[in-house]
Structure 1
Amino acid sequence: MPETREVYAAEDLFSGWLDDASRRPGEPLRVRVGETVQTFEPETEPRFTDPAHVQEFVDRVLAHLVATESRYDDGTGLDLAAVPVVVRARRGRTRAHYEYDERPRRGVIAIPPREVGGAWSLRGAVVLHEIAHHLAAGEGHGREFRTTHLRLLEDIGRPVQAELLHTAYRLNGLDTGVDGDDRTLLRIGRLLRQAERTSNTAERDAFFAKAQALATRHQIALAVARATAGAEEKREEPTYETVLIGESGKRSLARYVRLMIEIARANDVRVAIYTSNTRVTLYGFPSDVAVVKALYASLVTQMVADGDAHLRSGAHKADEQQVWNARRRRWELKPVHGSTARAAFYEAWADHVGHRLSTARREVQEAAVAEDPASTELAIRAKEVEIVDYFGRMQREHGIRGTWKGTAAAGHAAPGSHEAGTRAAARARLGTERAIER
């Protein structure tokens, strides 16, 4: 069947990389891609004892997809993730196999057990390949299957494995139909949507900064490409885009702007703020602007939800602020108003998330520079200079003047809410989702 041989070659390469990573736990996996070496820290690959153990894993995977509303439509409206899969032992030892039973409606995965020499198949890479067959509407190993396999890895909380598999596909001359900037943004968006569907705050830390790390690696790759491209080659050019923050008169607009600034700062994007705080204009490369918009849309929702939960809990009522009573001509302690508590909460939330984003960015950049000091560092600096020059030119052309002052700090007036905002931001899901356990 067309492309089957290339897919198997790519997955053999992928499995070999996972084996290398398992032999050196805690060490980054280095993969040569063309003239560069890329660094990965893939999630732990599950291993299984027998087909019954595989069945437990398959059941958990499908249950997770259904619970997180990760639909895999067959084209008729049927969600294939909701169709059960039965795992059975296979007599032959050389192949694993998937087939679909119409009656009863179910998928069947045949796995050779260890006793007949099937130890090679009792691993996550093989089992997830067969689950991808179940979830892909088409047959064979074409583009639809490959896209489904990558999406499955991301949907169950294995985005680095997905990135590795996608790299193996490319090295074997395959694509998934969604590559480059579009795929990066699609992956970030999918991670964020998965994160927003969970109500368990304990899950929010599981994969924090994977989305920012993914964005930064992509930004570095583009910067290197720009630095080495000839004048005649097509290059991404800086641009600007205006984004609505909120309607005039809406509360907390300045805090929303502050969050946007923190996200933009971590992604090489400059921000010009309307005096009303209702809009901002983002200046940067189109791919970076798209990442900032995606992250902001998810994080502002989390910030508001966390702030609402804090106020509903009544925890802010324990705070007191010193207020001058003009009638009594003395200072008095009074409870913190809800609006003050919310402002303090948002301030701390945005500051802490900004710190986490910047840390993730710095770690990825340092790793990339360590791998290829000369070209990578020069490309990063060249990109920064290009953005600074572009923003300076736009400031002159657009008449941008002054410095955004935000609003008066509220943290001193509501220290309890400020601390609560920091704690909540530490749990914020940035490309976070729960991974399927072994």
Structure 2
Amino acid sequence: MPDDTRSVYAAEDLLAGWLDEARRRPGSPLRITAGREVLELEPETEPRFTDPAHVQDYVDRVLAHLVATDSRYDDGSGLDLATVPVVVRPRRGDRQAHYERGELPLRGVMAIPPREIGGAWSLRAAVVLHEVAHHLAGVDGHGAAFRSTFLRLLEDVGMPVLAELLHTAYRLSGLDTGIDGEDRTLLRIGRLLRQAERTSNTAERDAFFAKAQTLATRHQIALAVARATAQTEEQRQDPAWETVLIGESGKRSLARYVRLALEIARANDVRVAIYTSNTRVTLYGFPSDIAVVKALYASLVTQMVADGDAHLRSGAHKSDTRQVWNARSRRWEDRPVHGSTARAAFYEAWADHVGDRLARARDEARAAAIAAEPPVDDRPTSTELAIRAKEVEVVDYFRTMQREHGIRGTWKGTASAGHAAPGSHEAGVRAAARARLGTERAISS
């Protein structure tokens, strides 16, 4: 048996044990020690099955969901493997589940041992989705391509916490060891963003959105506390700066894109300097915070533009009117506001509302972290002191860089368009409340 296969099976045994423990203690988070890291996770409920026919129904629904959400699993020739059916049949042996590719007609064949011959262990989603991942990966064995496909599949079917658990199990079993703590945080944020994109339920989308910012804030606090308790030469991070392209010169709505970037930066302890052309911004802060801002911005700006386009295509912006003097009829007339004005009002409201949501999630995460540490004689806790020290360090660094980079003046943006197009402003608020937050691919772009 190849080494990767042994390690993958060991990892999935770990995963099965964790899920069994979670099932025995519903409502209680799993506490898992992974090296220096301690994770507290509440996994989604893992589906269980009665027989291979029940598995067939589940597999059909999984593939239909992937197709409906456009979660393509390309085989390299343009064929989406999610569109290829999988037939589930009983297996005679009780020790293994098995997948193979059938050619005529093209289909996958999954063999699952029934309960009555000792196959109860296989009648669970973790095992069934392992076989579906073989179908979607289009490769043999359990190498990196298979593991990536399995992780992505768990995310796509609405199980990002199970994906995190499986990824942790891979690392503990000697796989994927090259990802450091901060990269893992970005991976988790990316999974939450990806899951927010997949759901059409506004409440679920808001929940995933808040979890992404909460995770980022907890990570920021942990690093701040670590810096505060370490010697100067041991500190892993110093503030830094990075310039990010907003758009090419002459492109419309650049000021509104900048406004969105500012809102995201404010929620993540990052200061911003803005080019007078609005084509670029320079982010000043700790590298891990800058990475979070870039990830959130890459996801959110795409959604803001898509929502704005949909608003204009719907014609709803025509309900906003302005009075124009008609020289021919010699009277004032109500005419729809220009599309550019409606778009500006929409973007402004969208960015402001998203900023509010981010700030609320950050404040709640900070309050929870501070409350978890009991105060001593009414003095600030070490967490409070670390957060404040971090904020001061970023402010001092930004002031120093303002002098070195010759940054002068204050960004004034553009005149508000909300009063000119109140209907579009309200539409922007509603759209931001259900904002889908991009894909994991945005993290690495």
Question: TM-score normalised to the size of structure 2?
Answer: 0.80
User: 3-state DSSP class of the match of 1:412?
Assistant: coil
Please state if 1:424 is matched with 2:431: yes
User: 3-state DSSP class of the match of 2:89?
Assistant: strand
Are the aligned partners of 1:155 and 1:190 in contact in 2 as well (CA < 8 Å)?
A: no
Are the aligned partners of 2:170 and 2:176 in contact in 1 as well (CA < 8 Å)?
A: yes
Which stretch has the larger CA shift, 255-264 or 274-283? Answer: 274-283
Name which structure has the greater RCO, CA cutoff 8 Å, separation 6+.
Answer: 1
Aligned to 2:377: none
Q: Shift in Å at residue 304 of structure 1? A: 1.9
The count of aligned residue pairs is 430
Alpha-carbon separation, structure 1, partners of 2:268 and 2:306: 24
Alpha-carbon separation, structure 2, partners of 1:241 and 1:187: 23
Q: Shift in Å at residue 170 of structure 1? A: 3.0
Q: Shift in Å at residue 133 of structure 1? A: 3.2
1:8-407 aligned within 5 A? 8-23=9-24, 25=26, 28-33=29-34, 37-72=38-73, 80-93=81-94, 95-101=95-101, 103-104=103-104, 105-136=106-137, 139-175=140-176, 178-185=179-186, 188=189, 207-227=208-228, 235-320=236-321, 335-369=336-370, 379-407=386-414
Structure 2, unpaired ranges of 5+: 375-380, 441-445
Alpha-carbon separation, structure 1, partners of 2:385 and 2:34: 20
**What is the CA deviation profile of residues 150-169 of structure 1, one whole-angstrom value per residue up to 9, with x for unaligned ones?**
22222333222211222233
Alpha-carbon separation, structure 1, partners of 2:323 and 2:392: 47
Alpha-carbon separation, structure 2, partners of 1:391 and 1:253: 23
User: 3-state DSSP class of the match of 2:111?
Assistant: strand
Q: Shift in Å at residue 352 of structure 1? A: 0.9
Question: CA 1:371/1:24 → structure 2, altered by over 3 Å: closer, same or farther?
Answer: farther
**What is the CA deviation profile of residues 16-69 of structure 1, one whole-angstrom value per residue up to 9, with x for unaligned ones?**
433444455555444444566433233332222321221222233334444555
**What is the CA deviation profile of residues 94-119 of structure 1, one whole-angstrom value per residue up to 9, with x for unaligned ones?**
x3422323544543322222333433
Q: Shift in Å at residue 420 of structure 1? A: 1.0
- Code of the aligned partner of 2:403: R
User: 3-state DSSP class of the match of 1:107?
Assistant: strand
Q: Shift in Å at residue 262 of structure 1? A: 0.9
RMSD: 3.9
Which stretch has the larger CA shift, 375-384 or 263-272? Answer: 375-384
Are the aligned partners of 2:50 and 2:123 in contact in 1 as well (CA < 8 Å)?
A: yes
- Code of the aligned partner of 1:352: H
Alpha-carbon separation, structure 2, partners of 1:419 and 1:294: 26
Alpha-carbon separation, structure 2, partners of 1:150 and 1:369: 33
Alpha-carbon separation, structure 2, partners of 1:140 and 1:375: 49
Alpha-carbon separation, structure 1, partners of 2:77 and 2:252: 45
Question: CA 1:200/1:165 → structure 2, altered by over 3 Å: closer, same or farther?
Answer: closer
Which stretch has the larger CA shift, 31-40 or 106-115? Answer: 31-40
Q: Shift in Å at residue 137 of structure 1? A: 5.2
Percent identity of paired positions between Structure 1 and Structure 2: 80
Q: Shift in Å at residue 350 of structure 1? A: 0.6
Question: CA 1:394/1:38 → structure 2, altered by over 3 Å: closer, same or farther?
Answer: same
**What is the CA deviation profile of residues 124-174 of structure 1, one whole-angstrom value per residue up to 9, with x for unaligned ones?**
222122223334455444444433322222233322221122223334443
Are the aligned partners of 1:37 and 1:371 in contact in 2 as well (CA < 8 Å)?
A: no
Structure 1, unpaired ranges of 5+: 434-438
- Code of the aligned partner of 1:158: M
Q: Shift in Å at residue 363 of structure 1? A: 3.8
Which stretch has the larger CA shift, 390-399 or 226-235? Answer: 226-235
- Code of the aligned partner of 1:397: E
Are the aligned partners of 1:147 and 1:176 in contact in 2 as well (CA < 8 Å)?
A: no
Are the aligned partners of 2:299 and 2:439 in contact in 1 as well (CA < 8 Å)?
A: no
User: 3-state DSSP class of the match of 2:432?
Assistant: helix
Question: CA 1:88/1:367 → structure 2, altered by over 3 Å: closer, same or farther?
Answer: farther
**What is the CA deviation profile of residues 245-294 of structure 1, one whole-angstrom value per residue up to 9, with x for unaligned ones?**
23344332221111111111222221111223222111123333233223
Alpha-carbon separation, structure 1, partners of 2:78 and 2:424: 46
